[in-house]
Amino acid sequence: QNTQFSYVGVGPQTCSLEVGVKGKSIVRLSDNAVLASISSNSCHRGDHVVMIPETLKKQRISSMLLRYDFDITDDGAISPSGKPDLALGLGHPSLILVSRDSPNRVVLTHSKKLYDMKLPKVGHDPCGTEGIPLELSSLPGCGIVAESNYAINLGPVRFKWLGVGPADKALRVLYDGRIISCVEDGSVLRVANECYEIGNALCLHRRNSKSATRSKGAGNDFTINEDGSLSPMHAPNLAVGCTFQ
């Protein structure tokens, strides 16, 4: 959860959301928060689903980033309106922040190699090399992957959510002692909204200039710990983890 919205997931039945339907919107009864997908101009497999305050729906950034219209099908599934091929469901375990000693932190198989091969500067531009795969020793056969093939495009910034998936799909990256950058397109690992709280999501992020993509003191600064885990440089009490392990 952060100051504007809360991610929606699956948990104990006793914690289920109590909602109603208003037109095409699904609304939480206790506070009128609205169900939305973070989808930019179109919905895609892997988009995150959130509850947002009713007041946020009226803001311009909301109309650029969020989609609120859903259809409930005859078999009880919930699909984005106009996208009957998609439905709310469980995808890859999402990459999130966890406590530094959490059993759900992820541990990189090639952390030492990634550190030893660090370059003077990475980020924004494609690297033109093979890079190091973000495979996980903590979850054999798995790696850190992009949850969707489609970046959410907000004009000056594009991003993809991250999760845990098959090792052969693991992102290939390089490191410069601060930034972890995808070799394919120069996008960088980042804590969403620079919100250093347990449960907040991580994404691949690229802005419209190199200085903005590589901004110092921001959510894209990471430390490779001795045990092979990753921590935000500005929140060493936290680590990169996943929603279950």
pLDDT at 91: 80
Detail the DSSP E strand segments found in 46-156: 49-52, 66-67, 70-72, 78-80, 95-99, 132-133, 135-136, 142-146, 152-153
Lowest mean pLDDT among 44-58, 118-132, 141-155, 227-241: 44-58
The residue among 119 and 64 whose pLDDT is bigger is 119
Is 186 a residue whose pLDDT tops 80? yes
Distance CA 142, CA 137 (A): 8
Mean pLDDT of the chain: 90
Q: Are 97 and 196 in contact (CB under 8 A)?
A: yes
> What does the block give as tokens for 133?
């795969």
**Chain CA centroid to CA 158, Å:** 12
> What does the block give as tokens for 171?
């992102």
167: helix, strand or coil: helix
- 238-242 and 230-232: which strand pairing? unpaired
pLDDT at 3: 47
pLDDT at 64: 66
> What does the block give as tokens for 125?
């531009």
- pLDDT tens digits for range 17-75: 999 999 999 999 999 999 998 876 678 888 888 898 888 776 755 666 788 899 999 99
Lowest mean pLDDT among 52-61, 70-79, 101-110, 183-192: 52-61
Mean pLDDT, residues 198-205 taken together: 93
Domain spans of the chain?
6-80, 95-242
47: helix, strand or coil: coil
The residue among 230 and 44 whose pLDDT is bigger is 230
